[in-house]
Amino acid sequence: MVHLFRTSLGVMALAAAALASGDAAAAANGPFLPHQALYDLSLVKSRSSSVSSARGRILYNFAGSSCEGYTSEFRQVSELDSGEGKITLSDLRSNSWEDAAGKSYRFKIETRMNDTDSSRVDGQAERDGDHINVKLKLPAPKSFTLDGATVFPTEQIQRIIAAARDGKSLLELTVYDGSDNGEKVYNTMTVIGQPIPADRAVASPDPSIGDDHMKTLKRWPVTVSYFDREAQQKEGEQTPVYAMSFELYENGVSRALVLDYNDFVISGALGKFDVRDAKPCN
């Protein structure tokens, strides 16, 4: 259950509004689409007695450009019911900025569970040669380094889009997004399906299907599994912490979200989709 809240930055990056970054991605995919997206969350199935029902929403705002970097504002409110009168209500808010070249990443995350005090993470990461320097202000001042092969969330999506366009079906990446206590690093495995043409009908239409910006774009079915890197290194653990499936458009927007947290599965239906004005680079 706790992974639904602690790893929501991964949800933000890959599901709420999957974006690309950097000049290479811009050349391949054209301008990214600044927009606001609202996802309605509901329980698909439960594999244990810990969750009998679930509901919630994800609200995501994206803005920026390849010259000024990309900013995102994200909020996820979720309610999980155990069926025994015990309800867990969470409210997660985050703000992040990522340099378009994937060199710098800043993030602030606040999570509140029921009536408890909120927990906060505040930090930044800077790429420096063959490593990444991370400095945390919260939950406690701390500095550490990461392997330079690690990518930030926006660059992760850039690489998924590039791999999809190249016809690749598998992509392995190490990702740092500032989630959990600001020290978590994930190994990810992405499986990319065959492209879906723009004119293919869908069983459950949503606002992205009918939007003029999206009507002519193809998309790919994508599943990304997240593994705890530290657990894998110590124990050889291969069970993902969670997995996300969605359809990823050429311009980075995603639809038909499914979040698998092992004990239960949540769907995220795109209920509202508003395109924002793009600010061109000078």
Whether the Cβ atoms of residue 238 and residue 196 lie closer than 8 Å to each other: no
Residue 68 confidence (pLDDT): 85
For 141-198, the pLDDT digits (tens) are 999 999 999 999 888 988 999 999 999 999 999 999 998 889 999 999 999 999 999 8
Q: Do 32 and 22 form a contact (C-beta atoms < 8 A)?
A: no
| Phi, then psi, of 41 in degrees rounded to 5 | -100, 140
- What pLDDT does residue 27 have? 32
Q: Which are the contacts of 101, defined by CB distance < 8 A and separation ≥ 6?
A: 21, 22, 23
Q: Considering the entire predicted model, what is its pTM?
A: 0.84
Percent of the chain at pLDDT > 70 equals: 87
Kindly list the distances between the CA atom of residue 21 and the CA atoms of 40, 64, 146, 152, 195, in Å, as whole numbers in the listed order: 26, 10, 21, 10, 21
- Exposed / middle / buried, residue 115 (Cβ in 10 Å: 0-12, 13-18, 19+): exposed
Percent of the chain whose pLDDT exceeds 90: 43
Sign of CA dihedral 117, 153, 149, 261: positive
26 has pLDDT over 50: no
Task: Enter the DSSP assignment of 48.
Answer: S
Using the predicted structure, report yes or no on whether residue 281 has a pLDDT greater than 90. Answer: no
| Residue 122, CA atoms < 13 Å, CB-side half-sphere | 8
What is the average per-residue pLDDT within 202-223?
87
Scanning the structure block, which residue is given the tokens 């995603």? 254
The span from the CA of 123 to the CA of 178, in Å, is: 8
- Does the pLDDT at position 30 exceed 70? no
User: What average pLDDT does the chain have?
Assistant: 83
Q: Could you tell me what percentage of the chain is helix, strand and coil, using 3-state DSSP and rounding each to the nearest 5?
A: 15, 50, 35
What are 232-252's pLDDT values in tens digits?
666 666 788 889 999 998 887
Amino acid at 10: G
Separation CA 132–CA 128 (nearest Å): 6
Mean of the pLDDT values across residues 14-28? 35
Range in 78-92, 168-182, 215-229 the model is least confident about: 78-92
DSSP codes of every residue in 166-210: TT--EEEEEE----TTTT--EEEEEEE---B-TT---SS--HHHH
What's the CA gap between 214 and 30, in Å, rounded? 13
Q: Which two tokens stand for residue 156?
A: 């992760």
Count of CB atoms within 10 A of residue 147's CB? 12
Exposed (0-12), middle (13-18) or buried (19+): which is 114, by Cβ within 10 Å? exposed
Higher pLDDT, 126 or 66: 126
H or E segment to which residue 9 belongs: helix 8-11
pLDDT of residue 236: 62
**What single letter denotes the amino acid at residue 235?**
E
Q: What is the mean pLDDT of residues 265-273?
A: 91
**Confidence at residue 188, expressed as pLDDT on a 0 to 100 scale:** 94
Model confidence over 97-148: pLDDT tens digits?
999 888 999 999 999 988 887 899 999 999 999 999 999 999 999 999 999 9
At residue 5, the pLDDT reads 37
